[in-house]
Structure 1
Amino acid sequence: SSGQNVLPQIRGEYRVWYNPEQKDAWFESTSHILRMTTLFAILLPAAALVREKERGTIEQLLVSPLTPFHIMASKVLAMTLMIVGAVSVSIFGVLGPILHVPIAGSLPLYYCIMVLYVFTTAGIGLFAATLARNQAQVGMMTILVLVPILLLSGVTTPMEAMPKWVQYVMIFSPLRYYIEITHGIFFKGAGLASLWHLVLPMGLLGSATFGFGVWRFRKQFD
C-alpha cells in the first residue's frame, strides 16, 4: 500500500584498491624485475670473487693492506651500480612509458632500499663464492639458493595461504620483504614510516649474510 515504507535497493560493488583496473601487467612486471635483481645480486659478486680465485689474484689482494671486508665490499659496490643502472632503465624505459605502471611513492626511498636489498642478497652470493672453486659451481649454487628464495617470496602463493611452518621459514627470504616494500612504494605510495617493519628485518638479514660471508672468506684464506 501507499502507506508502507519502501526500502531502497542496495547493490554491492567490489572496489579494488591501488589497482582498480586489475591489470596483471603491473604486478607481473615489477615482480619480474625483483626476481632478476635477486638473481644478479647473488650471481655477479660471487662470479667476480671466484674469477679472482681462478686467476690466482686473490692472494695478491690478501697480501695488500686491504681486509677481506674491503675486498668483498668492492665487489658488491661495483655490482650494485650495475644493478641500479639496469633497474633504472627498466623503470623509466619499460614500466612507465610502455606498461604505465604508477609510481605513487618516493623513488629516492625506493633506490635506498634497493641498495640495501642488493647488499643483503650479495652476502648470500659471496658466501657461495667461498665454497665454489670455479664459475660452473657458482652457477649451480646460485640456482640451488635462488629457487627457495623465489618460492618463499610470496610471488606465486601468498604468505597467508601457506602452512604455518612455511610462513616461519619465509622470514628468512629477503625477497619476501623486498616485494612488499616495492609494491607498497609503487602502488600505495607508502613511506618509510609504514615500511620500517619490513626494512629492519631485511637489513638484519643483510648484516648477517654479509658478515658470515666475510668470516667464511677470512677463515678460508687464513
Structure 2
Amino acid sequence: MSALLSLSNVTASYGASQALFGVDLDIREGEVMALLGRNGMGKSTTVKCICRMLPAQGTLTFGGQDLSRLPSHKAARLGLGLVPEGRRCFADLSVQENLMAAARSGDWSFDKVIQLFPRLGERRNQRAGSLSGGEQQMLAIGRALMTNPTLLILDEATEGLAPVIRQEIWAVIRQLKADTGLAILVIDKSIKELRQVCDRATILERGKTVWAGTIEALTDDVTASYIGV
C-alpha cells in the first residue's frame, strides 16, 4: 500500500539554527503512527513542516501531492487536521462557534462531534476560554475533526491533563481507530497507551530519524536507548 504521507530526508531551520537533519516518515491510510523522541528532538518541528508552518527541504508528499510548495491553508484543505500543542482554541468564541468555524463538508458534523464528546454538547454556548484544560483539549480535537481530515495529527494531546481526562482522550483515539479508518499521527510520552493504539512508531533524535518499526518491535530496550532519561 502506498503512503498517505511521506517524508524523505526532510531538513528545516529556524533562521540560522538547523532543527531537522534528515527526517524520514511515512503513514499509510488508516494507520496510527507514534512519533517519539526526547524533548527538543524535532517532533513538533516535523509537524510544523508537514502542516507548512515552517519551510522545509527534502521530499514531502501527501495523498500523492507535493506539500513542499504549498501554503498552510492549502495543505490543510488536502486533508491535514492538526490538534496543536497547547490547544489554541478561540477563547472568545463559544464551543459551538469554535467547531462551526472549522467545518468542512464530510462525515464529521457538529452533532457527530458532540456524540464523541458529550461534554462539548453540554458546554456548547460556553466561551472556550472558560473551559477546563481537558474540555479545551476535547474542543481542539473536535475542531480538527470538523475539517473532515484524512490525517489527524495529535501533538501532545494528553500533556498536562488530569489522569481521568487523559484516559478519556486515549479512549477517543482508540474509538477513532476502530470506527473511522482515519490515519492518525500521535506525538505523546505515554508509551503504554501508544502501544495499545499504534501500528508503528518512528523515533527522532537530534532532528533525525534514528528508528522506525512496528509497535511490537518497540521494546523496552529501544525506548530506553532513545527515549529514556
TM-score category of the 2 structures, normalised to the smaller one: under 0.3
For normalisation by structure 1, the TM-score amounts to: 0.25
TM-score by length of 2: 0.25
Structure with greater proportional strand content: 2
Question: By percentage of residues, which structure has more helix?
Answer: 1
Larger Rg: 1
